[in-house]
Amino acid sequence: MSVLDMCSCQDDFCQSFRTAPPPDGAYGRGHRCIPLDAPWPGYLVLDVVHEEIMYVEVLYRAPLD
């Protein structure tokens, strides 16, 4: 898995990124969100479609290196 694109929302608490091209509209069938226990304060959530990680939500975390 590699980073395809960083989130463009420009919220100061967001460091989310895409690992696959975005869909036209919603992800649809086969989509699920998997919240993980982050090893740091904040949120880490995977958006998965048919077992492929599409988007990684990284919220309220100190800046990534």
pLDDT in tens, 12-64: 999 999 999 999 999 999 999 999 998 889 999 999 999 999 999 999 998 87
**Contact (CB, 8 A) for 48 and 54:** yes
Determine the Cα–Cα distance for residues 29 and 54; give it in Å rounded to an integer.
14
pTM of the model: 0.88
Measured CA distances, 20 to 12, 41, 42 (Å) = 23, 26, 23
Is residue 3 over pLDDT 80? yes
